[in-house]
Structure 1
Amino acid sequence: MDNHQSELAEELAERKHLFCARPQTLCEVINSLNLDIIVPYESGDAHPVAKLINKHLGFPVD
């Protein structure tokens, strides 16, 4: 869990939502940018997860 941000960036890059680079690959990624392949990210509905967490913690569920 130390690198969860890197794992998320890599997953989003695989799904073509963004480009992911590390310091050693930054120039290569910039030189090969193709913005036409980017897929817009559509966010999900967080309400069901929030309700589940609230229920688990004993908070009122609306």
Structure 2
Amino acid sequence: MNAVEIQTHARKLYDAHGTKALAEAAQMVRELEQRGEKKLVEDWRRIQSALQQMRGPNVS
């Protein structure tokens, strides 16, 4: 996936799952790792990163 596709997918995931989107992405990474889907794992890790950037820094 290119950068635009990653951002689009992250936004759709966030819109669908809200604050649980990051957990959904992490679960997908685990499932893909178990299946040996290395290319898809890389894409989903990039989606995780995009979600973390969208969320911004934690404020206490």
Q: TM-score range by the shorter chain?
A: 0.3 to 0.5
Higher helix fraction (1 or 2): 2
Higher RCO (CA-CA < 8 Å; seq separation 6+):
2
Greater C-alpha radius of gyration: 1
* TM-score for the superposition, normalised by structure 1: 0.32
* TM-score for the superposition, normalised by structure 2: 0.32
